Amino acid sequence: MNPLKQEIAATIAHDGPMTLEHYMALCLGHPRYGYYMTRDPFGAAGDFVTAPEISQMFGELIGVWASEAWRMAGSPSPAQLIELGPGRGTLMSDVLRVSRISPAFLDAISVHLVETSPTLRAIQQQTLANSGKPVSWNADVNDTPPGPAFILANEFFDALPVRHYVKTIPGWRERLVGLAPSGELAFGLSEHVETSLNVPAREGSIIEVSAIAQRIMSEIAARLVREGGALLLIDYGYTETSLGDSLQAIAKHAYVDPLAAPGEADLTAHVDFAALARAARAAGAKVMGPVTQAHFLVQLGIERRAQALVNRATEEQAQAIADAFDRLTGTQDPRRHMGALFKVMAVTHPDMPDMPGFIV
Ligand code: SAH
């Protein structure tokens, strides 16, 4: 048993079973043993690869989008450029580099990274050391300075804990993590029947609720309505709320048992875009999309960008660019292609005109 599993087992022995949401929060964010707190999980040698790590084209197009969003919002100055969950800092580095072609944007913004992991903060600091802009860190988006904000979130919302409710004969009951007689962690159900969930479904059906993601979305949307700006959210997920469980644990590019080694595998859930869009609209914000990542990147000109890079590349580099283009925009094979599995949604001040990437 790893130390986090021992700690969780002891907590359960003392306080009783914990919710899946609480378990996920400990696995990902426990200050000492949490998955993101202690490691750099990205890249071929890590557990998974994200779009900014595949190619600079991704961050460059997002940078062009961000400066365009700023211009369409009336070029406010000062403004904040905020990234949620910046990983290695690669996306922000590409965004700031490409923004040199929009000096007025670069002058207006101050850069804020929302990151809980000290390990990843240190890597981000290194990556951005020569970016030409001072960078500051916050643990919570609510702690960033007020003012018009342009907020980027790639693969952030999928890392937030979810709740599961399972349909039983008496009604919906929340999934808990408890102890099996062997002393191992085991899933179980709360005794309590959730009467607020009034969804008809067959016994055994699961509802996944992203309460934390919805709360963060409500807070950001309220800020954008109050102060102006836009949020760009890119993640894998589904466009209609539906029954089912999308919780997955991934280590070394393979699926593993989420209870086997807490803190050693990445725990994620697919993003419920419809629920996040409802939360944003309820706060008075405008929602654009979701569209597929392929649609978004092609509309922003990834083909032209890839061609420009190929034109000054060696044969080997040209192959790598073609390969990255295929991974980012391909749609056939969801294990390799991100183009259809990943969706892009923007949340903005209600007066924002329709933005590039979202025209259908
Ligand atoms: N955007 C990056 C990394 C995605 S992984 C990329 O595309 O490569 C998720 C990131 O979110 C990590 O940086 C992780 O440490 C951070 N994170 C996870 N939960 C968080 C939370 N509750 N608050 C702030 N950051 C969080």
* Whether 221 contacts 184, CB under 8 Å: no
Task: Answer whether residue 303 is part of any domain.
Answer: yes
Rounded to the nearest angstrom, the distance between the alpha carbon of 211 and the centre of ligand 1 is 17
Total domain count, the chain: 1
- The CATH number of residue 63's host domain is 3.40.50.12710
Give the pLDDT score at 26: 98
Give the pLDDT score at 252: 86
Output the CA torsion sign for 166, 167, 173, 177. negative
Residue 44 scores a pLDDT above 80: no
Q: 336: which 2 tokens?
A: 């390799």
Give the pLDDT score at 64: 98
Rounded to the nearest angstrom, the distance between the alpha carbon of 204 and the centre of ligand 1 is 32
Residue 43 scores a pLDDT above 80: no
Which residues, at least 6 apart from 230, have a Cβ–Cβ distance to it below 8 Å?
69, 73, 150, 151, 224, 346, 347, 348, 349, 352, 355
> Helix %, strand %, coil % for the chain, to 5?
40, 25, 35
Contact 89 CB / ligand 1 (< 6 Å): no
72 vs 358: CA distance, rounded Å: 14
Rg (CA), the chain: 21
Task: Answer whether residue 355 is part of any domain.
Answer: no
Contact 117 CB / ligand 1 (< 6 Å): yes
- Band of residue 253 on the pLDDT scale cut at 50, 70, 90: confident
* Whether 73 contacts 352, CB under 8 Å: yes
Residue 15 scores a pLDDT above 80: yes
Contact 159 CB / ligand 1 (< 6 Å): yes
The pLDDT of 304-321, averaged and rounded, is 96
341 vs 360: CA distance, rounded Å: 18
Task: Answer whether residue 282 is part of any domain.
Answer: yes
Give the pLDDT score at 39: 86
Percent of the chain with pLDDT over 70: 100
Closest CA to 345 of 282, 271, 249: 271
- Band of residue 117 on the pLDDT scale cut at 50, 70, 90: very high
Task: Answer whether residue 358 is part of any domain.
Answer: no
Task: Answer whether residue 360 is part of any domain.
Answer: no
Percent of the chain with pLDDT over 90: 93
CA within 13 Å, CB half, 273: 23
Contact 85 CB / ligand 1 (< 6 Å): yes
Closest CA to 175 of 250, 259, 261, 249: 259
- Band of residue 300 on the pLDDT scale cut at 50, 70, 90: very high
Residue 125 scores a pLDDT above 80: yes
Task: Answer whether residue 98 is part of any domain.
Answer: yes
Output the CA torsion sign for 216, 220, 225, 231. negative
Mark residue 77 as left, alpha or beta (left: phi above 0; alpha: psi -120 to 50; beta: remaining): beta
Q: 40: which 2 tokens?
A: 């750099």
The pLDDT tens digits for 174-231 are 999 999 999 999 999 999 999 999 889 999 999 999 999 999 999 999 999 999 999 9
User: What is the chain's length?
Assistant: 360
Contact 155 CB / ligand 1 (< 6 Å): yes
Contact 127 CB / ligand 1 (< 6 Å): no
Residue nearest to ligand 1 atom 21, measured at CA: 116
Domain that holds residue 303: 3-348
Number of the ligand 1 atom closest to the C-alpha atom of 51: 7
- Band of residue 46 on the pLDDT scale cut at 50, 70, 90: confident
Residue 58 scores a pLDDT above 90: yes
Give the pLDDT score at 123: 97
Give the pLDDT score at 328: 98
Which residues, at least 6 apart from 118, have a Cβ–Cβ distance to it below 8 Å?
37
Query: 171-179 and 266-268 as β-strands: parallel, antiparallel, unpaired?
Result: unpaired
- Axis-axis angle for helices 20-29, 3-15 (nearest 10): 150
Contact 50 CB / ligand 1 (< 6 Å): yes
Number of the ligand 1 atom closest to the C-alpha atom of 36: 15
Task: Answer whether residue 354 is part of any domain.
Answer: no
* Whether 201 contacts 44, CB under 8 Å: no
* Whether 9 contacts 179, CB under 8 Å: yes
- Axis-axis angle for helices 118-127, 90-98 (nearest 10): 30
Amino acid letter, residue 8: I
Give the pLDDT score at 162: 98
Task: Answer whether residue 149 is part of any domain.
Answer: yes
Give the pLDDT score at 241: 85
The pLDDT of 12-17, averaged and rounded, is 97
Q: In the predicted model, what is the mean pLDDT of the chain?
A: 96
Contact 42 CB / ligand 1 (< 6 Å): yes
Q: How many CB atoms are located within 10 Å of the residue 1 CB?
A: 13
